[in-house]
Amino acid sequence: MSKLVIMGAVEFAPERRDQVLPLLMAHRARCLKDEPGTLRFEVVLPREDDSRILIYEVYQDDDAFEVHRNAPSRAQWLQDTTGLDVKVIATRCSPVE
Residue 78, φ and ψ in degrees, nearest 5: -65, -40
CB 92 within 8 A of CB 2: no
User: For 77-93, what is each residue's pLDDT tens digit?
Assistant: 999 999 999 999 999 99
Largest Cα–Cα distance in the chain? 41
Nearest to 88 by CA among 97, 78, 80: 78
The whole-number pLDDT of residue 97 equals 79
Q: How many CA atoms lie within 13 A of 6 on its CB side?
A: 25
Per-residue pLDDT of the chain (97 residues; tens, 9 = 90+): 699 999 999 999 999 999 999 999 999 999 999 999 999 999 999 999 999 999 999 999 999 999 999 999 999 999 999 999 999 999 999 999 7
* Mean pLDDT (the chain, rounded): 96
- The total of other beta-carbon atoms located within 10 Å of residue 18's CB is 9
% of the chain with per-residue pLDDT over 90 = 98
Question: Rounded CA gap, 11 and 79, in Å?
Answer: 16
Look up the pTM and report it: 0.94
